[in-house]
């Protein structure tokens, strides 16, 4: 048997450990996309062979991070992507549709569910509600959509005193669960909070579903690894998980 010097064994073993330790794909995602991403990470890692280190921020914060050049391997920015693409910090041709999600409303568990079937029904529901909670974190897509809805319906002034902004989606729904808000508004993907029940989705003509698209970062340390993760996140297996979180396939 060939003799291998102990020092050489340590050197080879140490080098292998370093390679594995560095094989990490960093991923930046909106908080509204966090539940399915967290669920998908273990299988993504076992399928692609790449560890994932994920960070979740509000959509507006992600746009700022991309524009100023913060380095991530995979990025799921907030639409529209004009500024992110113009920055040169994401790779346009790597665009990978993942899933789309609609804006929805929740009520306290056991409470009557309001009618959201038509724009006129949404208008009545919002006007009749005693209070409405929603995430108002910096750049939150939900807040932007909800403000657009009430402007379209022409009821912004009537709702001003009823609006209860919260730090994020779970915090907004916690207010509903505690009875401190009658209706909570956030994406359907964030409705799996204790103490609340989904009332329904807003009509698409009033609040079009938001599409989440993944991109490889222009400064990704391993573009092939970034592509492998994006391919998994758009796979049929991932699509099945998105559907369990109230999302639809992105392709």
* Longest distance between any two alpha carbons in the chain, whole Å: 85
21 pLDDT exceeds 80? no
Whether residues 195 and 181 fall in one domain: yes
Q: What average pLDDT score do residues 220-229 get?
A: 97
Whether residues 118 and 193 fall in one domain: yes
Whether residues 119 and 148 fall in one domain: yes
Task: Say what the pLDDT of residue 23 is.
Answer: 86
Whether residues 142 and 82 fall in one domain: no
24 pLDDT exceeds 90? yes
Strand 96-101 versus strand 247-249 pairing type: antiparallel
Whether residues 163 and 229 fall in one domain: no
User: In terms of residue numbers, what domain contains 109?
Assistant: 103-201
74 pLDDT exceeds 70? yes
CB 245 within 8 A of CB 189: yes
Whether residues 123 and 191 fall in one domain: yes
The pTM for the full model equals 0.81
Q: How many domains in the chain?
A: 2
Task: Say what the pLDDT of residue 206 is.
Answer: 96
Of 169, 198, 202, the C-alpha closest to 186 is 169
39 assigned to some structural domain: yes
Whether residues 40 and 54 fall in one domain: yes
CB 109 within 8 A of CB 199: no
pLDDT averaged over the chain?
A: 89
Whether residues 108 and 94 fall in one domain: no
- CATH number of the domain where residue 141 is located: 3.40.190.10
1 assigned to some structural domain: no
Tell me the percentage of the chain whose pLDDT exceeds 70. 90
Task: Say what the pLDDT of residue 251 is.
Answer: 60
73 assigned to some structural domain: yes
In this predicted model, which residue has the larger pLDDT, 144 or 38?
A: 38
144 assigned to some structural domain: yes
Rounded to whole angstroms, the Cα distance separating 145 from 39 reads 26
Whether residues 11 and 57 fall in one domain: yes
Q: Token pair for residue 77?
A: 């920015």
**Segment 184-194, tens digit of pLDDT:** 999 998 898 89
Give first-to-last CA distance, the chain, whole Å.
Answer: 56
- In sequence order, the 6+-apart residues with CB closer than 8 A to the CB of 108 are 176, 177, 179, 182, 195, 196, 197
138 pLDDT exceeds 90? no
Whether residues 113 and 148 fall in one domain: yes
Whether residues 93 and 120 fall in one domain: no
- Ranking 31-35, 49-53, 192-196 by mean pLDDT, the lowest is 31-35
């Amino acid at each position: 048997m060939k003799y291998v010097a102990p020092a050489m064994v340590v050197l080879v073993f140490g080098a292998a450990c370093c390679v594995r330790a560095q094989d990490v794909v960093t991923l930046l995602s909106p908080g509204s996309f966090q539940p399915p991403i967290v669920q998908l990470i273990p299988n993504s890692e076992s399928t692609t062979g790449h560890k994932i280190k994920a960070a979740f921020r509000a959509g507006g914060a992600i746009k700022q991070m991309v524009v100023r050049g913060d380095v991530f391997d995979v990025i799921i920015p907030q639409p529209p992507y004009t500024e992110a693409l113009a920055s040169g910090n994401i790779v346009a041709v790597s665009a990978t549709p993942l899933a789309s999600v609609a804006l929805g409303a929740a009520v306290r568990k056991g409470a009557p569910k309001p009618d959201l079937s038509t724009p006129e029904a949404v208008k009545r529901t919002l006007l009749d509600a005693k209070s409405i909670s929603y995430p108002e974190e910096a750049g939150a897509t939900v807040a932007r959509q909800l403000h657009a809805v009430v402007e379209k319906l022409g009821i912004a002034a009537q709702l001003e005193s009823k609006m209860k902004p919260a730090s994020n989606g779970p915090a907004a729904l916690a207010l509903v669960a505690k009875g401190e808000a009658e209706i909570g508004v956030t994406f359907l993907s964030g409705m799996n909070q204790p103490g609340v029940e989904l009332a329904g989705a807003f009509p698409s003509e009033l609040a079009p579903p938001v599409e989440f698209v993944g991109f490889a970062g222009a400064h990704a340390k391993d573009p092939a690894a970034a592509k492998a993760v994006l391919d998994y996140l758009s796979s049929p297996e991932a699509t099945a998980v998105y559907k369990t979180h109230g999302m639809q396939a992105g392709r």
